[in-house]
Structure 1
Amino acid sequence: MSQNCNFIIKENKNLITNFEEKFEKEVLYHKNNPALDYGEDEGFLYVNAKYSKLYIQINETIILLDIDKCTIIEKPILIKQLHELYRLFFDYLENSEYKSDYWKLFEWQEQEIFEYKHSFIDPKEFNAEFVSEFLNKLTKNDLAISVTPESTKTQNSFIKKTWFEVGFQFANGKIYDLIKEKLSHEQIAGTLFKSGRIKIDSYRTWISCSLGKVEKENQNKSIFLRPNANKELNTVISYCKEKNITISEKFKKQCNENGIILN
């Protein structure tokens, strides 16, 4: 039927871990290094490959949970992974500038193989409602499994995002204070993000892109120019208000200069 639970758990983990960081890095790489042969768009192919991989892993995970052949230890892990796969596909990719439907055409060509092996969800019928309904059914049918509610997960998930980490340091004024002390962008990154999730130089890039003029291909690293900048920076503002953190006037001014409407 389907592959064993342990294997799928490992596959899910490899895909989920730092997905957004790796995805944006690869897309930027392909934008800066377009393929020379036959005019192929490697960035386009990469995006659709990631869509396909998420689609496959969501299907594999649903099948394993549906046939209920996993251990009591494996099952809650798979359910939590399915929540995260759902988020990456429907909340991250589908709401980003990289949204694409072309992957459905690729997967449809292989659908005969998939149907023979697993009875995957038809790509044309694959949607958030179907997966969400399946997750809700799992939660209702097995109350012993502790699953983080989607609303809570959504509330907390932004904390570890680079846009939030950098945006928070802009909003609370620390970056502006260190600029006033004549620290370089690299020194600011080293001071504020010693224990960061990504390399110091990556934080430095985000700081530099957010402070100065930036080429179009690097706008995703500017907290003020990202496709969802308005929503993201208002999330930062809400967090600061919740924690009673004073919001920098310079940050508000920079938001205004970039057309960000703060709530």
Structure 2
Amino acid sequence: MSSQLYIVIISALIFEFINGMRDSSNIVATMISSRAFSPRMALGMTAIAEFFGPFLFGITVAKTIGSDIVDSNLITLDVLLACLCGSIVWNMITWFFGIPSSSSHALIGGLIGATMVSVGWQSIKLEGLEKVLIALFTSPVIGFVIGFIVLRVIYFLSQNATPNINNFFRRGQFFTVIGLAFSHGTNDAQKTMGIITLSLIISGTQQEFTVPFWVILVSAGTMALGTSVGGWRLIRTLGGKFYKIRPVHSIATQLTSAVVILGGGWRMISLPPGSLPYRPAHYFRRVFTG
């Protein structure tokens, strides 16, 4: 492998470490704020579950990142390096100021931006971009609806319960946080897998998009390591600056997030062409082509 390829791989792993450090806040903030688990125990459980996520639930998201958004035949390793540098800088800015943001869409935005500067819009696969846009705009709405329903159902089922029900909600978070961490590992670690595999194809190290086992292992391990460190600035933001979180809120939030993330990973990336009555890609193609 060339020195440039090594630089891209190392940059991708740096991105993954920061991603794990930042996104751990999404998982552990509510369970720490609700005093269900100590911070260290919460981060430890999350890191272990995130590590095993890609091995248990597959690597379909990596394929979307690495082969469905840009044409690998038209871009270079310089494009990937620019994409990673931009994503790392943005992640560090949002971490420093305690601003929750999506590392996934930062990486995809960096990839699209760097690709368009390098070779133009014709290298963008609009059908793949459509999947990303669908997830970007529908995930918050879907999460809101499912979260609302889940919490109302929990309230209904526990309306005659004693205050001891809070102990059940605290202990139950062990299972919901493991499920949420699995979903994060399945989804987030695969972004780096896709970029690294794409760099291997561009450099000629391999010919087709198949994620090597060592890429899965290193990416999952790096993300788990970043998670174990913990992004405390974001944990404080998510855990205490929106509203006072009770155990019932925490368990409902974790369950909802796990359902939405796993559902997106299994369903949205596998939408076949023509499955929607309105295709946003058609609009973007018209914009780019005039």
Asked if TM exceeds 0.5, the reply is no
TM-score (norm 1): 0.25
TM-score (norm 2): 0.24
Q: Which has the larger radius of gyration?
A: 1
Higher relative CO (Cα under 8 Å, sequence separation at least 6) belongs to 2
